[in-house]
C-alpha cells in the first residue's frame, strides 16, 4: 500500500468514528456529552494533522513523479525521437551536396509495419491507388507517352504498396480509425479506397466540415499505437509519395505527445457522427494543458526540447489548445534573426467567400519582424498551373520593402517543381506542397496554406518544436529545416518574376 493510500485509509477511519459518535449524541448524558466534545476536538485535531501530512505527502510524491504533471511545467520522460521527412518528386535532382531526408513513403511503410494495436488517421481524401484517374487518362499515357500509367506505372506503385499495408492491418488485430473530409467532392474522390478499407475492417468517418465550418478537413496526421505520430503536408494520395514535394515529421516512442495529438483526432471522430454539431464548449476530455504557454518538455533525440500541437479553426480548439494562427504569429514575433517560410500559397486575404477580405494577421507580423527587429524574412511559395495569382501581388508587396531604411531584409520567391512532358499530364501533381516555417527559435510543421480561410474555416494542425541546442547528436530539427529551406531557396527551381505575365509564363498558368 502506498503512503497516500495508508493515510487516506486512516483519514476515512477517523471520519467514520466521528460519524458514529455524532449519531449517538442525543442519547448521551451531560458528562458523556462533555467527554464527547473533548473527543470531537481530539478528532478534529487529528484530522487536521493527517490532512497536513497527506498534503505534504502529495507534494512530495508529485515532486518525485517522473512523468507526472508538475504545477505548471509539463515534463515527459518518454524516449521521444524525431525524424524530418520529405517526398522529393521523381526527376527533381538538387546539385550535390544537398541535404537528404528519409522519405515519407518508407516511413509510412515502416510505421504501418510496426503498428500493433491501433492506428488513427486524420486525412483530407484518399486516392492511394490511381482510382481517381479516369480511363481516358490511362489511354492518353499509353498513346503519347509510351509509358503505362495503368496498373504498372512506377509512379503509383508506392501508393499501392502503402494502401495494401493498410488493408493488411485489421486482420492482424490493429484497429484502424480514419477521419476524412465529408464534402461531396472528397467523398467522391475517396470512394474506392474507403470502400476497400471498410471491407477489410477499418472504421471510416467522413466529417462534413462543409456543413460545420464551411471548410474542409485538411489535416494530415497519424497516431500509431498511441505512441508514434506522423504529421505533415502529404495527403493520402499516391502523388504525395512520388509526384508532389512534401515535408513532414515522425515522432517515435512519444506517448505523452501522442495522447495529446489523439485528442485532436478524437474531435474529428466525434464530429464524424451522424448529425454532429461542434460542442460549445468541448467536453473536458478534449481539453489539454500542453500548449504555447505551457509546452511539453521532452528530450528529443537526447536534446532538451519543448513541443506543442496546434489546431484550427478556433471552433476546434477546446480549452487549453493553442490556435494554429496564434502559434504562427507568436513564432514570427519571437524570432530574433531569421524567419524562413515555405508554404504552398500565401495570400493575405480570404479566398473562398463571396468577397475577398483583407487579412493582415501574418503579413503584419512579417513586416514588423523585418522593419522593427531587423529579422531576415524569406518567403518561398509554390507556383504551378493552378496557382492563385493573388499570391503574386502579396509577395510583391512584401518584397517591395526589401532594403527600406537601409536595414530591412525581406525577400520572396516562387518554387517551380520541374516536370517532363509526361509528368505534366498527371493532374494536380508536380508542385511544392509543403507548409513549414523555421526561425532561429523554433520549427513549425503545418498542414495549412497561409490564407484567411485556412485559419477560420478549414481544419488543420501543426507541430511547433523548440530545440535549443544540439548535444552533439547531429543537427536539431530546426537546423535540418533551415538547411532544407536554403537548399530550395538557392536551388535552380526558384523564380522571382517581376511581372504577373512572367509568373504566368513560367508557371505554365493557363
Ligand atoms: C473519355 O473521353 C470521351 C471523349 O472525350 C468522353 O466522352 C468520355 O466521357 C470520357 N470518359 C471518361 C471516363 O472520362
Ligand atoms: C522505440 O522504443 C523501442 C522499445 O524501447 C525501441 O526498440 C525502438 O528502437 C524505439 N524506436 C525508435 C525509432 O527510437
Ligand atoms: C492550398 O492547398 C491545397 C492542398 O493542400 C491546394 O489544393 C489549394 O489549391 C491550395 N491553395 C489555395 C489558394 O487554397
Ligand atoms: C525555447 O526553449 C528555451 C529553453 O527551454 C527557452 O529558454 C526559450 O524561451 C524557448 N523559446 C521559445 C520561442 O519558446
The pLDDT value given to residue 129: 87
Q: Name the domain boundary from 41, 64, 87.
A: 64
| 442 CA closest ligand 4 atom index | 13
Cell numbers at 185, concatenated: 467532392
Position 214 in a domain: yes
Please name the residue that has the C-alpha cell 498551373: 385
pLDDT digits over 345-382, tens only?
Answer: 999 999 987 889 999 999 999 999 999 999 999 999 99
- Least confident window among 63-77, 218-232, 404-418, 419-433: 63-77
> Facing residues of 206 across strands?
180
Q: Are residues 361 and 446 in the same domain?
A: yes
Q: Sign of the CA dihedral 261, 262, 265, 270?
A: negative
* Catalytic choice (101, 153, 220, 263): 220
Decide: 427 in ligand 1 pocket, CB within 6 A.
no
Domain containing 263 equals 74-506
Decide: 428 in ligand 3 pocket, CB within 6 A.
no
The pLDDT value given to residue 297: 96
- Least confident window among 125-139, 216-230, 350-364: 125-139
The pLDDT value given to residue 422: 81
The pLDDT value given to residue 455: 97
Q: Name the domain boundary from 64, 94, 110.
A: 64
> Facing residues of 341 across strands?
379, 437
Decide: 468 in ligand 4 pocket, CB within 6 A.
yes
Cβ-proximal residues to 447 (8 Å cutoff; 6+ apart), any chain: 218, 219, 220, 221, 231, 232, 233, 435, 460, 461, 462
Q: Are residues 301 and 431 in the same domain?
A: yes
More confident residue, 510 or 289: 289
The pLDDT value given to residue 130: 72
CB 129 within 8 A of CB 156: yes
Cell numbers at 163, concatenated: 494502401
Q: Cα(349)–Cα(64) distance, rounded to whole angstroms? A: 50
* Catalytic choice (228, 378, 435, 441): 435
The pLDDT value given to residue 328: 98
Mean pLDDT of 53-74: 51
Q: Sign of the CA dihedral 291, 249, 345, 213?
A: negative
pLDDT digits over 265-307, tens only?
Answer: 999 999 999 999 999 999 999 999 999 999 999 999 889 999 9
CB 16 within 8 A of CB 46: no
Q: Name the domain boundary from 20, 37, 64.
A: 64
Tell me: pLDDT of 11 over 60: no
Is 363 a known active-site residue?
no
282 three-state secondary structure = coil
Q: Are residues 35 and 96 in the same domain?
A: no
Omega before 281 within 30 of 0, i.e. cis: yes
Q: Are residues 242 and 328 in the same domain?
A: yes
Cell numbers at 89, concatenated: 518528386
Q: Which helix (H) or strand (E) holds 53?
A: helix 30-64
Q: Are residues 32 and 106 in the same domain?
A: no
CB 80 within 8 A of CB 300: yes
Cell numbers at 360, concatenated: 493582415
Q: Are residues 25 and 124 in the same domain?
A: no
The pTM for the full model equals: 0.83
Position 473 in a domain: yes
Ligand 2 proximal residues by C-beta, below 6 Å: 81, 252-253
pLDDT digits over 73-120, tens only?
Answer: 999 999 999 999 999 999 999 998 999 999 999 999 999 999 999 999
Q: In the chain, pLDDT over 70 holds for what percent of residues?
A: 80
pLDDT digits over 247-267, tens only?
Answer: 999 999 999 999 999 999 999
Mean pLDDT of 317-337: 98
Q: Are residues 106 and 188 in the same domain?
A: yes
Average pLDDT, the chain: 86
The pLDDT value given to residue 510: 73
- Least confident window among 47-56, 321-330, 391-400: 47-56
Query: Which ranges of 272-360 would DSSP assign to H, the alpha helix?
Result: 324-334
> Facing residues of 69 across strands?
74
Mean pLDDT of 23-35: 42
Query: Which ranges of 318-389 would DSSP assign to H, the alpha helix?
Result: 324-334, 361-372
DSSP classification of residue 243: T
- The count of domains in the chain is 2
Mean pLDDT of 410-416: 98
Is 130 a known active-site residue?
no
Q: Are residues 223 and 359 in the same domain?
A: yes
Is 78 a known active-site residue?
no
Q: Cα(438)–Cα(73) distance, rounded to whole angstroms? A: 25
Nearest partner of 388 among 417, 412, 352, 421, judged by Cα: 352
pLDDT digits over 460-509, tens only?
Answer: 999 999 987 766 667 899 999 999 999 999 999 999 999 999 999 999 87
Q: Are residues 209 and 308 in the same domain?
A: yes
Q: Are residues 59 and 91 in the same domain?
A: no
More confident residue, 54 or 426: 426
CB 296 within 8 A of CB 302: no
More confident residue, 286 or 133: 286
The number of beta carbons lying within 10 Å of the beta carbon of residue 11 is: 16
pLDDT band at 53 (very low <50, low <70, confident <90, very high): low
More confident residue, 406 or 422: 406
Ligand index nearest the alpha carbon of residue 250 = 2
Nearest partner of 186 among 237, 223, 229, 151, judged by Cα: 237
CB 371 within 8 A of CB 405: yes
The pLDDT value given to residue 468: 74
| Domain CATH number, residue 220 | 3.30.870.10
Alpha carbon nearest to ligand 4 atom 7, residue: 468
Position 472 in a domain: yes
Position 464 in a domain: yes
Position 112 in a domain: yes
Q: Are residues 9 and 125 in the same domain?
A: no
Position 164 in a domain: yes
More confident residue, 140 or 172: 172
Q: Are residues 350 and 248 in the same domain?
A: yes
| 137 CA closest ligand 1 atom index | 14
What strands, in cross-sheet order, belong to the sheet with 494-495?
Answer: 74-75, 296-300, 303-312, 460-467, 443-446, 436-439, 338-342, 376-382, 410-415, 494-495
Decide: 351 in ligand 3 pocket, CB within 6 A.
yes
- Report residue 244 CA to chain centroid gap: 19
Alpha carbon nearest to ligand 3 atom 1, residue: 449
Position 69 in a domain: no
The pLDDT value given to residue 37: 53
* Catalytic choice (228, 297, 413, 433): 433
Decide: 334 in ligand 4 pocket, CB within 6 A.
yes
Position 106 in a domain: yes
Q: Cα(429)–Cα(242) distance, rounded to whole angstroms? A: 9
Amino acid at each position: 500500500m502506498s503512503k497516500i493510500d495508508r493515510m487516506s485509509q486512516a483519514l476515512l477511519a477517523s471520519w467514520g468514528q466521528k460519524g458514529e459518535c455524532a449519531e449517538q449524541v442525543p442519547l448521551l448524558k451531560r458528562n458523556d456529552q462533555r467527554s464527547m466534545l473533548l473527543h470531537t476536538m481530539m478528532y478534529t485535531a487529528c484530522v487536521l494533522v493527517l490532512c497536513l501530512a497527506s498534503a505534504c505527502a502529495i507534494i512530495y510524491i508529485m515532486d518525485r513523479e517522473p512523468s507526472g504533471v508538475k504545477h505548471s511545467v509539463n515534463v515527459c520522460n518518454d524516449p521521444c525521437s524525431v525524424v524530418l521527412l520529405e517526398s522529393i518528386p521523381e526527376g527533381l535532382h538538387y546539385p550535390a551536396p544537398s541535404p537528404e531526408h528519409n522519405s515519407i513513403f518508407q516511413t509510412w511503410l515502416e510505421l504501418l509495419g510496426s503498428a500493433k494495436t491501433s492506428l488513427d488517421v486524420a486525412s483530407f481524401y484518399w486516392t492511394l491507388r490511381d482510382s481517381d484517374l479516369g480511363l481516358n487518362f490511362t489511354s492518353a499515357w499509353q498513346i503519347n507517352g509510351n509509358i503505362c500509367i495503368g496498373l504498372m506505372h512506377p509512379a503509383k506503385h508506392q501508393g499501392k504498396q502503402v494502401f495494401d499495408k493498410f488493408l493488411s492491418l485489421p486482420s492482424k488485430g490493429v484497429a484502424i480509425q480514419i477521419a476524412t473530409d465529408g464534402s461531396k467532392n472528397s467523398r467522391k474522390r475517396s470512394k474506392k479506397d474507403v470502400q476497400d478499407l471498410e471491407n477489410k475492417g477499418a472504421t471510416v468517418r467522413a466529417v462534413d466540415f462543409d456543413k460545420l465550418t464551411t471548410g474542409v478537413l485538411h489535416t494530415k496526421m497519424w497516431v500509431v499505437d498511441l505512441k508514434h505520430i506522423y504529421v505533415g503536408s502529404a495527403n493520402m494520395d499516391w502523388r504525395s509519395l512520388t509526384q508532389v514535394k512534401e515535408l513532414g515529421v515522425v515522432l517515435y516512442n512519444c506517448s505523452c505527445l501522442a495522447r495529446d495529438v489523439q485528442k485532436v483526432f478524437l474531435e474529428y471522430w466525434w464530429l464524424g457522427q451522424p448529425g454532429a454539431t461542434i460542442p460549445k464548449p468541448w467536453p473536458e476530455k478534449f481539453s489539454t494543458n500542453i500548449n504555447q504557454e505551457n509546452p511539453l518538455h521532452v528530450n528529443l533525440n537526447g536534446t532538451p526540447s519543448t513541443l506543442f500541437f496546434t489546431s484550427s479553426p478556433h471552433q476546434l480548439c477546446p480549452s487549453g489548445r493553442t490556435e494554429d494562427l496564434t502559434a504562427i504569429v507568436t513564432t514570427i514575433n519571437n524570432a530574433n534573426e531569421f524567419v524562413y517560410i515555405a508554404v504552398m500559397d500565401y495570400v493575405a486575404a480570404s479566398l473562398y467567400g463571396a468577397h475577398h477580405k483583407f487579412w493582415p494577421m501574418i503579413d503584419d507580423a512579417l513586416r514588423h519582424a523585418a522593419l522593427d527587429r531587423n529579422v531576415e524574412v524569406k518567403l518561398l511559395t509554390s507556383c504551378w498551373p493552378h496557382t492563385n495569382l493573388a499570391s503574386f501581388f502579396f509577395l510583391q508587396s512584401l518584397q517591395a520593402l526589401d532594403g527600406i531604411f537601409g536595414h530591412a531584409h525581406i525577400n520572396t520567391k516562387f518554387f517551380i517543381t520541374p516536370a517532363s512532358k509526361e509528368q505534366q499530364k498527371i493532374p494536380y501533381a508536380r508542385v511544392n506542397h509543403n507548409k513549414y516555417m523555421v526561425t532561429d527559435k523554433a520549427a513549425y510543421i503545418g498542414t495549412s496554406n497561409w490564407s484567411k480561410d485556412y485559419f477560420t474555416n478549414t481544419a488543420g494542425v501543426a507541430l511547433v518544436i523548440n530545440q535549443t541546442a544540439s548535444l552533439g547528436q547531429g543537427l536539431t530539427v530546426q537546423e535540418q529545416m533551415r538547411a532544407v529551406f536554403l537548399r530550395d531557396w538557392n536551388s535552380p527551381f526558384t523564380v522571382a518574376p517581376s511581372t504577373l505575365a512572367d509568373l504566368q509564363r513560367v508557371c505554365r498558368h493557363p
